[in-house]
Structures are given as C-alpha cells and as structure tokens.
Structure 1
C-alpha cells in the first residue's frame, strides 16, 4: 500500500491551542486520507490490467488451477492476509497507518 504521510497534520493537531485549529487539522488529515483511498483503487486496477495484458499466462494459471491459495508460499499468504486486514481496518475506521508503521 502506498504510504500516506499525515505526520504534519498530526503535528498540527497536537500543537493546536484552540478548538477551531484542532478541528481544521483533523479535517485536513481526514481529507488527505480520504483522497488517498479514493485514488487508490483506480491505480491498483490499472496496474493489474497492465500486468495481466503483459502476462496472459497469469490469468491462465489461475483459471486452470495451477496457481491456488494452497500453492502460494506461506510468506505470500501472510502478506496478502496482512494487507487485506490492514485495508479492511482502514476502510472501517479502526486504524490510521502512520508513516512509521508502513515502513
């Protein structure tokens, strides 16, 4: 997942003195996160389509069963599961990924 750096917005929130400053900083951070998530799906879709156009064997391998979840290396399975959980948590509002957590 692309890094979404909201460290400056977090700093503004923690340094804000007045309520209106806190609110505007929170709105700025949430807007940045929302824009990143809204723009993420088309990027992934385009990259996937480009890859599949360049590698038709990938589609065939999945369709004919020569690639399956059970055949993926455990490290790949773990990475996919972790990514799905992370994206699900972000979309459900359960977590914010800070730059330090992504690296």
Structure 2
C-alpha cells in the first residue's frame, strides 16, 4: 500500500507541485536577489561616501578646530605659566613638562 501511494505521488502529484513551486518562487527569488544586489550595493556606496568623505571631512575639520583652539590655549597658558614661574621664581622644569604634555595632546590626541 505504501509503495502504491509513493508511486502515485511520484507520477501524479510531484509533477504538479514542483513546477508550481518553482515558478511561484522563482520571480520572488530573482526579485529578492536584484533588490539585495542593487539596494545593498547602493546603500553601501552611499554609506561609504557619507562616512568616508563627508563625515570624515567634518570630523577632521572639527578636530582641526579643536587642535587650533588647543594650540592657542596651550600657547597662551604656556606664556601665562611661564610668567607665573618667572614672577614667583619657580623652577622652569614645570614649564617644559607642561609644554611637552600640551604638544603631546595636540599632536597625538587631537590630530586627525
């Protein structure tokens, strides 16, 4: 009995199921593939252009502004600290340490 049912399915049911399933799923699969390829590449390209060009440029510009402000403030602060050290007759080693720390921050931390 089981053999008869399987044979009947092989000859009559499967030839009806397989083409309907394939032809029903094929346009969806092709459409999904096209959407994946086109949209994924397009979105990836737009994202890369935005991230690597626009946002990177804005980030570098912001970091350059911060570095310039930091350089001005460090320069002014260095002169102010130098003035205080000379006025109070403090050792100048602190001025050099402050300058080294300031330039390290400016070149290695704020540099783009």
TM-score > 0.5 by shorter chain: no
The structure having more radius of gyration, on CA atoms, is 2
Structure with larger RCO (C-alpha < 8 A, sep 6+)? 1
Name the structure with the higher helix share: 2
TM (norm. structure 2) is 0.38
